[in-house]
């Protein structure tokens, strides 16, 4: 794809600013310089810091994100990184990885199964490219958590743990909740190479009723371990994220004036209590690290990728995000979450009406293209063995087709997929009944699915993380699927 207008100019401005890093280090706050980097959420950092008790000082090494583990359990540890593809809205198991051609007409749907390159494994005809890659992944056809609520499903699939109680409504993000996989991994492994340990792009997981469901950040670990969230619906993945760039009206001529002003304001940070001052400095340094390392922003760019590679993934927001995810894990990011987005975030897998048309014309072709390209590309580069790729959503869809030609929420059984990172390919774990309504063989609770991800990354039931008060918290409740390793 041709570069966005003014992209070269914006890159040049960023390079100019990199060259004068000493001036930046004196600035104190990048936000005031027109660099509203998501990492620099100072108010939120300080609010969390004020909640840290003296107990937290005893685990300062963990709180600083030095990558130290506590009780790693029996995780295999083969996966150096993980790319989590999240199909927002909840994709139908019947029209993806668990077709039911012999079911009653009110259940089976409009599409037929097709054979994969692994004998005995069929998937929906909407996934022809994935059918040619079945030797690279395994399907879990018996995943469940039994809730039909979006927020519950999001939280379970991103954390493996139930959310904190709410007085009403679906759970939005909260510091009372357990951490996302990305937030936990960021605390356990720390950051490296000027890049955060976890990145979430290109949009938040939510809908028109809830901007951001729970489970997407570091929860009770504190904001310092939140994944870097690039959730601008206007951003084209593969270009410089807007938050990485100075505003157009901030030239070097105005820059020194702002620095002088910030010098006068810097005393306020020095007057903060010790812990809060430390949090301020951590936020500042993390924001500056984006400018300090070329990899910290070049990993997000596709301008050096072969156009044929972009076309292979699909020149759309989901395809480009998957390609950026590959680049990020190559650069050292441990966990990249890629929620579904093709046009706008509300056009997702929550297909209560026109289900079959949407699956055929809008949703499944980009998934089939990008998912298969990611697996093939990682394999060809020798990265698949050390990169876990996971596919999930909130839940599945109802066995019965409703009066609007749609399928509704169904948490009783759904399909998930795992590949790479030590996972055996060409396997099917569990089974649903003849109408894809209930698990009938090897039920896998969502907590076990997430435990399998952690196991591949090297963490098990003895692993703990530390909350903002320094208290140890268990990371895993479920059991990994040992047959997959």
pLDDT tens readout for residues 139-187? 999 999 999 999 999 999 999 999 999 988 889 999 999 999 999 999 9
pLDDT tens readout for residues 187-198? 999 998 889 999
Query: The whole model's pTM is what?
Result: 0.83
Note the pLDDT of residue 119: 98
Same domain flag for 351 and 455: yes
Average pLDDT score over residue span 444-448: 98
Same domain flag for 83 and 207: yes
H or E element at residue 196: none
Same domain flag for 265 and 314: no
pLDDT band at 105 (very low <50, low <70, confident <90, very high): confident
pLDDT band at 453 (very low <50, low <70, confident <90, very high): very high
Q: Parallel, antiparallel, or unpaired for β 387-393 and 414-419? A: antiparallel
Give how many domains the chain has, as a whole number: 2
Distance of CA 177 to the CA centre of its chain: 17
**73 located within any domain:** no
The parent domain of residue 262 ranges over 1-64+242-292
* Whether the predicted pLDDT of 468 surpasses 60: yes
Q: Which residues pair with 392 in a beta bridge?
A: 86
Domain end residue (candidates: 250, 276, 292):
292
HSE-up of residue 23 (Cα within 13 Å, Cβ side): 16
pLDDT band at 271 (very low <50, low <70, confident <90, very high): low
Residue 368 dihedral angles phi and psi, to the nearest 5°? -60, -45
Residue 310 dihedral angles phi and psi, to the nearest 5°? -60, -45
Same domain flag for 359 and 465: yes
**107 located within any domain:** yes
Same domain flag for 108 and 215: yes
Same domain flag for 86 and 167: yes
Same domain flag for 258 and 334: no
CATH number at residue 122: 3.40.720.10
Same domain flag for 317 and 210: yes
User: Using CA atoms, how far apart are residues 444 and 431, in angstroms rounded to an integer?
Assistant: 10
* Whether the predicted pLDDT of 48 surpasses 90: no
Q: How many CB atoms lie within 10 A of CB 403?
A: 6
Note the pLDDT of residue 240: 80
Q: Parallel, antiparallel, or unpaired for β 137-144 and 198-200? A: unpaired
Same domain flag for 174 and 224: yes
**70 located within any domain:** no
Q: Which two tokens stand for residue 64?
A: 């600083």
Residue 433, judged by CB atoms within 10 A of its CB (0-12, 13-18, 19+), counts as: middle
Rama region for 203: left / alpha / beta (φ>0; ψ in -120 to 50; rest): beta
Domain end residue (candidates: 259, 292, 325):
292
Q: Evaluate whether 370 touches 342 at the Cβ level (below 8 Å).
A: no
Q: Is 302 helix (H, G, I), strand (E, B) or coil?
A: coil
**120 located within any domain:** yes
H or E element at residue 141: strand 137-144
**71 located within any domain:** no
Q: Which of 416, 419, 415 is nearest to 387 (CA)?
A: 419
| Neighbour-count burial for 109-128, b at 16+ CB within 10 Å, e otherwise | bebebeebebeebbbbbbbb
**69 located within any domain:** no
Same domain flag for 159 and 142: yes
Distance of CA 300 to the CA centre of its chain: 15
Q: Evaluate whether 336 touches 83 at the Cβ level (below 8 Å).
A: yes
**72 located within any domain:** no
Q: Evaluate whether 84 touches 73 at the Cβ level (below 8 Å).
A: no
User: Among 209-213, 354-358, 397-401, 452-456, whose mean pLDDT is lowest?
Assistant: 209-213
Would you mind telling me the total number of residues written for the chain in this entry?
A: 485
Same domain flag for 150 and 108: yes
**443 located within any domain:** yes
- Whether cis (ω within 30° of 0) applies to the bond prior to 202 is yes
Domain end residue (candidates: 292, 310, 334):
292
pLDDT tens readout for residues 404-439? 999 999 999 999 999 999 999 999 999 999 999 999
User: Using CA atoms, how far apart are residues 187 and 185, in angstroms rounded to an integer?
Assistant: 5
Q: Which residues pair with 207 in a beta bridge?
A: 210
pLDDT band at 274 (very low <50, low <70, confident <90, very high): low
Same domain flag for 30 and 131: no
């Amino acid at each position: 794809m041709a570069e966005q207008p003014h992209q070269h100019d914006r890159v040049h401005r960023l390079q100019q600013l990199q060259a004068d890093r000493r001036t930046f280090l004196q600035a104190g706050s990048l936000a005031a310089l027109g660099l509203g980097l998501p990492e620099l959420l100072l108010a939120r950092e300080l609010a969390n810091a004020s909640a840290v008790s003296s107990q937290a000082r005893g685990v300062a090494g963990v709180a600083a994100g030095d990558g130290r583990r506590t009780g790693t359990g029996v995780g295999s540890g083969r996966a150096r990184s993980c790319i989590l593809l999240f199909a927002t809205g909840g994709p139908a198991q019947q029209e993806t990885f668990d077709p039911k051609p012999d079911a009653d007409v009110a259940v089976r749907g409009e599409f037929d199964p097709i054979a994969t390159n692994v004998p005995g494994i069929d998937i929906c005809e909407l996934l022809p490219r994935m059918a040619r890659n079945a030797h690279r992944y395994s399907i879990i056809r018996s995943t469940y958590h039994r809730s039909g609520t979006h927020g519950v499903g999001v939280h379970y699939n991103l954390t493996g743990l139930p959310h904190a109680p709410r007085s009403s409504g679906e759970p939005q993000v909260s510091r009372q909740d357990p951490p996302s996989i990305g937030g936990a991994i960021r605390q356990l492994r720390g950051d490296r190479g000027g890049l955060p340990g976890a990145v979430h792009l290109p949009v938040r997981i939510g809908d028109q009723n809830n901007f951001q469901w729970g489970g997407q950040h570091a929860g009770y670990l504190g904001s310092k371990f939140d994944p870097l969230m690039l959730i601008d619906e206007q951003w084209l993945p593969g270009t410089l994220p807007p938050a990485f760039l100075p505003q157009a009206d901030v030239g070097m001529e105005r820059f020194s004036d702002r620095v002088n002003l910030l010098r006068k304001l810097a005393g306020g940070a020095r007057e903060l209590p010790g812990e809060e001052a430390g949090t301020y400095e951590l936020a500042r340094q993390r924001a500056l690290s984006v400018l300090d390392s070329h990899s910290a922003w070049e990993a997000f760019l596709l301008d050096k990728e072969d156009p044929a590679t972009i076309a292979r993934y699909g020149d759309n927001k989901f395809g480009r995000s998957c390609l950026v995810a590959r680049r990020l894990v190559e650069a050292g990011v441990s966990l990249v979450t890629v929620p579904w987005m093709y046009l706008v975030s509300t056009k997702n897998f929550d297909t209560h009406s026109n289900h079959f048309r949407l699956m055929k014309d809008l949703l499944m072709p980009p998934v089939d293209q990008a998912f298969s390209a990611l697996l093939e590309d990682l394999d060809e580069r020798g990265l698949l063995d050390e990169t876990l790729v996971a596919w999930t959503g909130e839940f599945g869809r109802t066995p019965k087709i409703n009066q609007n030609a749609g399928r509704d929420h169904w948490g009783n059984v759904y399909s998930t997929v795992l590949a790479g990172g030590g996972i055996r390919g060409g396997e099917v774990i569990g089974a649903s009944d003849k109408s894809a309504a209930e698990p009938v063989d090897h039920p896998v609770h969502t907590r076990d699915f997430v435990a399998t991800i952690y196991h591949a990354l090297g963490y098990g039931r003895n692993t703990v993380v530390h909350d903002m008060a320094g208290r140890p918290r268990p990371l895993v409740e479920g059991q990994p699927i040992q047959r997959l390793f």
